[in-house]
Amino acid sequence: MATRKLSRTALLVVGVLYIFAGLFYRDPWKTDDLTGIATMLTAVRGQEHAWLLPQIGNYAYAQEGPLLTWIGALFIQIFSPLFALFQSPLEAQITAARLPIFIYFFLIILTTWYGTYLLARRKECQPLALPFGGEPSPQDYGRMIADAAVLFIIATIGIVIRMHETSNFPLIMMCQAVAFYGMVRMLDHPIQGSTLAGLGLGAAFLTRGAIGGVPVLLALLALVFFRNMGRRQKWWLLWSLVIAATCCLLWLLCAQNTNEYWARSYLFWNNSLFSLPTLRELLSTLRDLSWFLWPTWPFMIIALWNWRKWMDSPHIFMPLLLLAASFITVIFQEDAFESEYAMLAVPCAILAALSLPTLRRSFVNTLDWFSIMIMSLAMIATWLGWIALNFGWPPKIHHNITRLLTGFEPHISALTLVLAAGVCVAWGLTVSWRLRSNPAVLWRGIVLSATGLTLTWMLLALLWLPSINYNRSYKAVSQELATVIAENQIPADCIRQHGVGLGQRAAFYVFQGVQFSFDAQCRYVLLQTTFEKIDDQAEPYPDNARLIWQGKRRPDRHEVFRLIELPPR
């Protein structure tokens, strides 16, 4: 078994292309992308207490911790003046707010790689010695497994879009990866490892409250029963808890003293997160995880089966511990979805990488052909949809696409076409290299999946980013509302809202600085409703209310906004 390590340059290029594609040159999208930007801009724009307590304008956003806001607002203040030299002030702030995503992503990759490397080079994880020697060294074997773990993260389908959002999604993955590396490091450097684990735990709580912190906390507490940890190492777990508790309690005390209402709302949100799941909810979660964690979860199951006699060894026990703690948290959380599923991605990828040494060559070859087929079909579908949008053929596909992009005027860019063609050429060269050279390395089974997903994502970003941005952006309708407010000389600080969603509230604040009043005496109300409710006359305002404006995002066939003036009381 050859253990030739993956080229560092190639891995870095794939990582940079993966995270850069689709990150810039677009508006923030609903919901998490917009709310993350909104809390950062609220702090930068000087809203009271917004640096300490996340807010969307004057709305107390007591559903997340402050860490995302702190980092994003700091980057906006430092880097937005530079970007403002060639962008509008708002675009410069949005661009600066996205820069930390690079840090999150590469810290995920770095800590996952080193944590996996430390586990894979241990004696328990080594392959059996060959009769006449020639087996790989522990360092070479560890590097190969670590390379595969990184590739599995990049190949995970469910994280590719959410990794590019200014939300807590990439940040919570980073916190868990740091905590995992700290847990592993405790085996040989207890002080360093417990410090990193404590920082990861504290950062997870400050990012997503109980949702982010409970999995790491459960994993750390379970290490007390891990037989491969000595008593001295287990005592250092207390240091991890002290670090995390200090970070969280200091912030909570400041929050309580600054804004008691916000602190009470935050604690209420955390207390209402968990409940016993019904069978239907459990099956729904398993169904969603099956596509979110593809293609890592089948390999994870294979690893657990093939390594079943080594369950108490560190290389299986530690990632499985974090995976199980995250899975339990997701199962018992109400309405868990992608933001919560993120916590499963890193431990699942590590276990998946550990399956590769146990796989037969025929299985790996089957995976290669499956990756070639799926990614090639995805690229063909991407091109076919783009042709239908721009040239009207095939007509049925053109009709289905234009229904979702009402009012969109497509534009063909020569540079975009050249880059998109280059992506397809790169995919062809990658497939050709894999089939011609047939490298005898264990990461060969996942390299096509990771590279293929990265190139497919790049192709989507090149050909479809303008149309996706048109479909998901609230910029136009926000500008329209701001114009109506100005033309009708409506007091901007005396507009209430009814039924306006969190993402929409964030959009109006980000793009136009619109904030909604809580004063019941304000006669102007912005309603978010649907055409069905309007037709059924199910609107919650009197018949003599005056309709000032009605607007919507042109691609949306249901959602509509109405600005009304209530009659004097």
Same domain, 68 and 126: no
Same domain, 225 and 341: yes
| 3-state secondary structure at position 435 | helix
Same domain, 193 and 44: no
Contact 340, 285 (CB under 8 A): no
Structural domain includes residue 19? no
Structural domain includes residue 5? no
Contact 205, 190 (CB under 8 A): no
Amino acid at the residue 141: Y
At 130 the pLDDT is 54
Q: Report pTM.
A: 0.93
Contact 269, 67 (CB under 8 A): no
Same domain, 74 and 105: no
Q: What is the number of other CB atoms lying within 10 angstroms of the CB of residue 307?
A: 20
Structural domain includes residue 17? no
Cis peptide, bond prior to residue 542, ω within 30 of zero: no
At 112 the pLDDT is 97
At 439 the pLDDT is 66
Structural domain includes residue 177? yes
Same domain, 257 and 384: no
Same domain, 305 and 351: yes
Same domain, 366 and 418: yes
Domain count, the chain: 4
Domain holding 93, by residue range, is 28-98
- Give residue 113's Cα distance to chain centre: 19
| 3-state secondary structure at position 229 | coil
Structural domain includes residue 22? no
Amino acid at the residue 548: I
CA-based nearest residue to 474, from 560, 534, 402: 560
Structural domain includes residue 21? no
Give the angle subtended at the CA of 46 by the CAs of 44 and 48, to the nearest 5°: 125
Cis peptide, bond prior to residue 89, ω within 30 of zero: no
Distance CA 175, CA 207 (A): 9
Same domain, 113 and 221: yes
List beta partners, residue 498: 527
- Out of 44, 79, 98, a domain closes at 98
Same domain, 57 and 41: yes
Pairing of the two strands 559-565 and 59-60: unpaired
Same domain, 43 and 130: no
List beta partners, residue 528: 561
Structural domain includes residue 3? no
pLDDT tens string, the chain, 569 residues long: the values are 445 567 788 888 999 999 999 999 899 988 899 999 999 999 999 888 899 999 999 999 998 899 999 999 999 999 999 999 999 999 999 999 999 999 999 999 999 999 999 999 998 888 765 554 456 688 888 998 999 999 999 999 999 999 999 999 999 999 999 999 999 999 999 999 999 999 999 999 999 999 999 999 999 999 998 888 888 888 999 999 999 999 999 999 999 999 889 999 999 999 988 988 989 999 999 999 999 999 999 999 999 999 999 998 999 999 999 999 999 999 999 888 888 999 999 999 999 999 988 888 777 778 888 888 999 999 999 999 999 999 988 999 999 999 888 888 888 899 999 999 999 999 999 888 888 876 666 677 788 899 999 999 999 999 999 999 999 999 999 999 999 999 998 988 899 999 899 999 999 999 999 999 998 889 999 999 888 888 777 677 777 788 999 999 988 888 999 999 988 87
- Out of 82, 98, 114, a domain closes at 98
**Residue 497 DSSP label:** E
Cβ-Cβ contacts under 8 Å for 418 (sequence gap 6 or more)? none
At 1 the pLDDT is 44
Dihedral of alpha carbons 72, 201, 115, 286, sign? negative
Distance CA 473, CA 501 (A): 14
Same domain, 131 and 195: yes
Helix residue spans in 223-259 (DSSP H): 231-258
Same domain, 343 and 281: yes
- Out of 305, 339, 358, a domain closes at 358
At 4 the pLDDT is 59
At 357 the pLDDT is 87
Could you identify the residue written with the tokens 């400041």?
254
Give the angle subtended at the CA of 369 by the CAs of 366 and 373, to the nearest 5°: 140
Distance CA 152, CA 150 (A): 5
Contact 526, 562 (CB under 8 A): yes
Dihedral of alpha carbons 497, 502, 505, 509, sign? positive
Structural domain includes residue 2? no
